Copies of this chain bind each other. A is one copy, B any other.
Amino acid sequence: MIGIVGGIGPMAGVDLYKQIVENTIAATDQEHLPVLLASLPNEITDRTSFLLGLTDKNPASALARVVMLLNNAGCTHVGIACNTAHAPQIYEPMVALLAIMGSRVELVHMIEEVIRQITLHPAQPQRIGILSTIGTYKTRIYQNRLEAEGLTPEVLDLPLHEALPQRAIYEIKAANTHIPQQPVDLVNEAILHLKNQGADAIVLGCTELGMIEERLDLQGLATFNPNLILARTLIERTFPHKLKHVLERG
């Protein structure tokens, strides 16, 4: 059974679940996969606030409790629908806690899977533009992993990153299901900047950004949606014969 740590934000967990449904070969209800989505947003501190030092409370312990809930309910593979939660400052203590708590689930690491897809992409992109929260940006989650693969991360200057993707992400969180045009415009502006800086690919490195992918002007750049990649990996690891052929855009 697949487990999803959702609620961070609530619609990002839903989006991951939808991506699993959409990428599963199934024509009837019964042909779909067993999935448990645990959304306990009230217990999980804002990841970016923690990474910026605005709160001392590491969301790692609440995240570990949610993973254990999924473990105890019978999940074998778990994905966390939040890029920022994969910052080593959060992810590593969470993994340590899970070992102590006796978790047996296999965690699928969203960022590692995105990096793998970038290295496998037929267009062989070299300069990878990153859109994310300030938490993901400042902890260099993507930058470090890309550089380790010999690729060049492209990011905006900090003031621009705050004014465009960071602002857009929190506007999407506040809007929930009916997302207005403003965050779409902000992200489009960010994409243009990254393209002008030389980026030949874009990582929508925050689950909220994946939710507006179809409304974005991606400037023809190869685009990587971490929630889509995580969904496909979760299917591949549990029920590989049920995985649809590539749906990826870009």
Q: Are B28 and A34 in contact (CB under 8 A)?
A: no
Asked whether any CB of chain B lies closer than 8 Å to the CB of A46, the reply is: yes
Give the complex CA separation of A178 and B214 in angstroms: 13
State how many copies of this chain the complex holds.
2
Smallest CB gap from A26: residue in B: B176
Smallest CB gap from A175: residue in B: B27
Give the complex CA separation of A30 and B18 in angstroms: 22
**Chain A 3-27 per-residue mask, 1 if CB under 8 angstroms from chain B, else 0:** 0000111110010011001100011
Q: Are A39 and B37 in contact (CB under 8 A)?
A: yes
Q: Are B34 and A42 in contact (CB under 8 A)?
A: yes
Asked whether any CB of chain B lies closer than 8 Å to the CB of A248, the reply is: no
Give chain B nearest CB distance to A10 CB in angstroms: 5
Q: Are B31 and A35 in contact (CB under 8 A)?
A: no
Q: Are A173 and B28 in contact (CB under 8 A)?
A: yes
Asked whether any CB of chain B lies closer than 8 Å to the CB of A73, the reply is: yes
Give the complex CA separation of A27 and B175 in angstroms: 8
**Chain A 176-195 per-residue mask, 1 if CB under 8 angstroms from chain B, else 0:** 11100000000000000000
Q: Are A34 and B30 in contact (CB under 8 A)?
A: no
Asked whether any CB of chain B lies closer than 8 Å to the CB of A174, the reply is: yes
Asked whether any CB of chain B lies closer than 8 Å to the CB of A151, the reply is: no
Interface residues of A (CB under 8 A from B): 1, 7-11, 14, 17-18, 21-22, 26-46, 69, 72-74, 173-174, 176-178
Query: Can you name 4 extra interface pairs (CB under 8 A) apart from A18-B177, A30-B44, A37-B39?
Result: A17-B37, A32-B42, A33-B42, A38-B73
